[in-house]
Structure 1
Amino acid sequence: MGNTTPKPLIDSSLQHRPVASRQYCTVSKSGVKRHTSAPPNSIESPRFHPHAKGKNIRLDTQLRRATRKNSFCNGITFSQRPVRLYEKVRLRLSGVHTGWSGALRFGFTSLDPSKLALADIPKYACPDLVTRPGYWAKALPERLAMRDNVLAFWADRHGRVFYSINDGEPILFHCGLNIGCPLWAIIDIYGITQEVTLLGGCSDNRTHF
């Protein structure tokens, strides 16, 4: 039988962005620079970064739930550790408020959030962060930002980002990532999205398109 894997859908707003020249690299004990596409293996799913976050974000003690307490912005968060290629970041939209417009923004960065000064975290991931080298993010369509929907997103070895809703078909969301370095997840809790909860059981999605 032939390969029956369905081709991914393509986000209608997909635009190719050039790969940024700024890279993140690590230096080994021998002093040799090493560019890696994935961090060491980890059995634990990502948590929110405890310090690199917008001023309106409150985290629970487990660093699994992030809530935006005021306004509709200043809700940028990052993963605490780099995310491997094909590793799914899974989160539930646990709080949605229809009084605002716009919804969650998400993507990746090649810059370690630990080195980001709090004063440098802007109000918005789009357009503020994505105009900087090393940041890639876009908005989830508002019609998909329904309470209790589960969003999963991941990057592949071709520098593309895919997402799915409730384990549905993968949708091509973004391209042009620099995969020659570690990547941290960006989750901007924006607009009608007021709270998200990171879920366990993140897995590798090894389907190649």
Structure 2
Amino acid sequence: MFFENFDIGQSSSPEDEEMEELEDSSVTDNEKNTQVERKNSHVSKIISKFHSSLHGDNIILMDENSVAHRRSSFANALVFSEKPILPGEIFMIEIEKNERGWSGYMRLGLTQVNPAMYSGALPQYALPDLNTIGYNNNSQSSWIFAISKQQNSVNFESEDGACIPYSYGKENAGPQYFLGDEYCVKTPRGPIQRHMLKPENRNKNMLATDVGSRIGVVYIPKANHMAEMHYLINGEDQGPCSKNIPYKDTPLYAVVDVYGTTKQVRIVQLYNIATLQSLCRDAILYNIHNKVNIRLLPLPDKLISYLLYEI
């Protein structure tokens, strides 16, 4: 099983910094009030965070360090996950704001750079700067790609660092499910229903770079102590975008570059404390391989609808 554990420890993060950072002029009073309301209403739900001390000069962290806002310019906006990412664990962000006038969009990936130990100056950009930094005697320490408008499914890299759509040049290319099935994704921290990976108000014309788009990264161990990195974009598995990642050399952290048109991103809390009701649903769906058979279960219609996320 690749769901082995790392000793990830705990990182300290000053909770008061975010309120001071809200003084930035590019964040309106209404947005400040919204952030405070969210903080007061669901502090216990914030599980995944950005690292509080290592980030680009133009980054403001808000809402218990779960939101990264670029205050100005288009660069100097790197942020890292607070803790290492486990094999098979999904780190997902949602685009909350875009800003016109810039070219390019956010970058996302994995890095061996430990934000708690890093003492050098951060580069302005994730690409190509982090990708070319050697670490732990490796020629490459980061695996990062640009997100593009056309992205739908990806599995290989272009010369400019962007992932090419998996369906590029292929007619009638349907969704690819490299992790789990069309209903459920299995992770080391428990199963995730695939609907959680999709935007709340998605429409058929939504682009990967639009506000509301949800983009995740995950790495899957393979043979010879190497791993493949996958993206999940608006609920669709993207396939391997990078291979031969030496994941056992040192823990891997998620890294986001809030670059260009992308102005603000939020970590999607996939691993909140679940209710007993939702845990029971997860257990049932986990053990039913053919989801068509759910409607054949000797259960009330309302419960069947709940299992199928119809209510």
Q: Mark the CA change 1:127 to 1:140 in structure 2 (over 3 Å): closer, same or farther.
A: same
Q: Tell me the equivalent position of 1:190.
A: 259
Number of aligned positions between the proteins: 166
> What amino acid is aligned across from residue 195 of structure 1 in structure 2?
Q
> What amino acid is aligned across from residue 263 of structure 2 in structure 1?
Q
Q: Tell me the equivalent position of 2:90.
A: 88
> What amino acid is aligned across from residue 125 of structure 1 in structure 2?
A
Paired residues of 2:8 and 2:84 also in contact (CA < 8 A): no
Q: Tell me the equivalent position of 1:166.
A: 234
Paired residues of 2:123 and 2:130 also in contact (CA < 8 A): yes
The separation in 1 between residues aligned to 2:262 and 2:64, in whole angstroms, is 20
Q: Tell me the equivalent position of 2:213.
A: 149
Matches within 5 A, 1:15-34: none
Which is bigger in relative contact order (C-alpha 8 A, separation at least 6)?
A: 1
> How much has 1:95 moved relative to structure 2?
0.9
Larger Rg computed on CA atoms:
2
Q: Tell me the equivalent position of 1:109.
A: 111
Unmatched 5+ residue regions in structure 1?
Answer: 1-36, 204-209
The separation in 1 between residues aligned to 2:8 and 2:79, in whole angstroms, is 23
Unmatched 5+ residue regions in structure 2?
Answer: 10-44, 135-140, 151-207, 273-311
Normalising by structure 1, we get a TM-score of: 0.73
Flag the structure with higher strand content: 1
1:140 aligns with 2:140: no
Q: Tell me the equivalent position of 1:33.
A: none
Q: Tell me the equivalent position of 2:297.
A: none
Percent sequence identity is 26
Secondary structure of the 1:127 match is coil
The separation in 1 between residues aligned to 2:233 and 2:6, in whole angstroms, is 26
